[in-house]
Structure formats: C-alpha cells, structure tokens
Amino acid sequence: MFPARGLANAGPRLFCEPSAMHWQTTRYRIDLTRPRVMGIVNVTPDSFSDGGRYLAPSDAIARAESLVRDGADILDLGAESTRPGAVAPDTAEELSRLMPVLKAVLDLGVPVSVDTSNPEVMHAVLDAGADIVNDVRSLARPGALDMVARHPSAGLCLMHLRGEPATMQAVVPDYPDVVAEVRDFLRSRLDAALSAGIAPGRIVLDPGIGFAKTPAHNLSLLRRQRDLEVLGRPLLVGWSRKSTLGLLTGRPAAQRVAASVAAAVLAVHEGARIVRVHDVAETVDAVKLWTSAFGPHAGPG
Ligand code: HH2
C-alpha cells in the first residue's frame, strides 16, 4: 500500500527555486512562494453551484483537462456535496464517482487532491496515487487521521467546520470571536495530525469560509486572516461562488465570478497561499497581477 513516489515526476511548473515555503504532497513538492490556484471538479449531482454538470466521468475528466489548460496548479476532486441538506453518498457510491476520474486526471501533470472525509475513500484514493486529502471535517471521522498518517508523504488540508455540513446553517452560528475559534480549532487539529506522525510540511490549513458561518463571520475571517499566520502553516481559502458573495451582490451562484475573483485576490493579499476556485482562468489572470505587483519577484518601490 502507498508506494513511496519520487519527486522526479513533478512537473516543472511547480518546481521553482528552493524556498522556505512548500507543500509536500505524494508526488509533488509544491512551491508556495507564489500563490497557487486549486481548480474544483465536483463529481456530484448536487453541489451548490455546479451540481450534476460533471457527474459523468467523461464530463468530469474534460472539466479537469480544461481547468489545467486554464492554468490550475492543483485539481480538487469531490464526490460529496457539502451544501446544507445534501445527501452524503455511501462509500461505494463515492468511490464509483471518484475513481474513474482520479485515474485519468493523475496523468494531467498537476497534483490531484481528493475532497473527502471518508477514511475508506482516503485509503482507496491514496492507494491509487492521489497527492492530497482535503477533508472539510479535518480528519475527525474514526480512522481518518491514521489513514493519512500511514501514508509517507500525501498532502493534507485541514478545514474549520462546526457541526456537520448538512445541518450547519440550520441555526444561526454564534461565536464570541470567530477568528479566535477558527484559530484554536485549527491549532488543535494541526496538533492531532502532528501527534499522529504527519510531517508539518504536508499540512495546510483552511478557515472554512461559509461552513457554519454568517456573512459577517466570513468577512471577519477575511479582514483578520493574518491572525491565522501564528499557526505557522500555509493557508488555503475557498470563497468561490459562496452564498456570502450572493448576498453581497444579489447574484445567483453562476454569476458570482467577479466577486469570487475579487475575494480570491483579497485572500491572497492577506496571505493565502492557495485559493480553491471554480473559475480558474479568471482567477489565474487576477493572481498574476497580484504576483507581479506583490510577489517574490516584484520590482522595488
Ligand atoms: N468548500 C467546499 C467544499 N470543499 N474544501 C476546502 N478545503 N475549503 C472550502 O472552502 C471548501 C472545500 C464547498 O464548495 P463546492 O465544492 O463548490 O460545493 P459542494 O460542497 O456543494 O460540492
């Protein structure tokens, strides 16, 4: 299980000069000195913004190929919608959605993340060569922590969530200080991962925009995003098409591109190293502007 993979497979795009800031994943050591764009592929019937569009493997693979052409640095495949009220697939269903797509997109030359909370699914996708486990439940399910810890190098994203996605917005979430709660939660999940033997360089952290949070909470997390830097790990942030942007603009999910791109750039400006997005081409262009002005090779003055 989990053959060790050399880093020689890594595509040149993600292999820049050595630097202090990297994300170790199964096949790739991702340089985070410039911000990275993670493109979303939802192999689901019910995702909040694109449910049903990529449920057929051929459609999901074509979507992944098009996101890579658009400049995605990382792909994130998900087979369970976290939309409130969504019905979770069982293990067999989640795997039958994921595996044909995963096997094909592993050849696209970019790291492939799988968005799952199910330890049996983690086992299967890591065995098949997935580079990253992205778990919105922060490896809370029994066996999940050990499953990732057993792998020698897979990357891991731990995200803040209170409760369960299906019911998280049923009561208005209430935090005395949302940023402090997110920070403390992520610190405790980071500690659990480190104690299980997962090397720190494999881990990135995510404040969980829209997960059991009001628009005001999400905006506080953007304004004070730098408070999370004390955790010492890179931040991955996902604002793409989320309902806070709908509330602010009055637009349905498919028309939130401009707000999503603006949120991604603001998150990068406040220190995010990876942004998880649906609209890759637009975000890549915007992040290029940010990188030219503020990135490691930006001019003086
Ligand atoms: N958001 C969603 C799903 N997974 N993972 C991380 N790390 N961060 C996020 O913000 C995040 C996530 C929800 O977005 P989407 O995948 O488009 O919708 P759905 O869960 O309905 O498939």
pLDDT, tens digit, for every residue of 262-287? 999 999 999 999 999 999 999 999 99
Q: Is 244 in the pocket of ligand 1 (CB under 6 A)?
A: no
Mutational pocket test of ligand 1: of 54, 114, 136, the residue with most ligand atoms within 8 Å of the beta carbon: 136
pLDDT of residue 190 exceeding 80: yes
Q: Which protein residue's CA is at the shortest distance from atom 12 of ligand 1? A: 136
Under 8 Å between Cβ of 25 and 202: yes
Q: Which protein residue's CA is at the shortest distance from atom 2 of ligand 1? A: 82
| Nearest of 40, 109, 21, 127 to residue 79 by alpha carbon | 40
Atom of ligand 1 nearest to the CA of 206: 7
Give per-residue pLDDT as tens, 143-163: 999 999 999 999 999 999 998
Residue 285 phi, psi (nearest 5): -60, -45
Buried residues in 115-151 as b, exposed as e (16+ CB within 10 A)? bbbbbbbbbbbbeebbbbbbbbbbbebeebbebbbbb
Global pTM exceeds 0.85: yes
Residue partners of 118: CB distance under 8 A and separation at least 6:
80, 91, 94, 141, 144
Residue partners of 137: CB distance under 8 A and separation at least 6:
117, 144, 159, 161
DSSP H or E run through 64: helix 57-69
Of the residues 29, 34, 189, 242, only one is catalytic, namely 242
**Cα 242 from chain centre:** 14
The pLDDT confidence band at residue 1, using thresholds 50, 70 and 90, is: low
Please tell me the distance from the alpha carbon of residue 179 to that of residue 110, in angstroms, as a whole number: 32
Task: Assign a CATH topology to domain 18-287.
Answer: TIM Barrel (3.20.20)
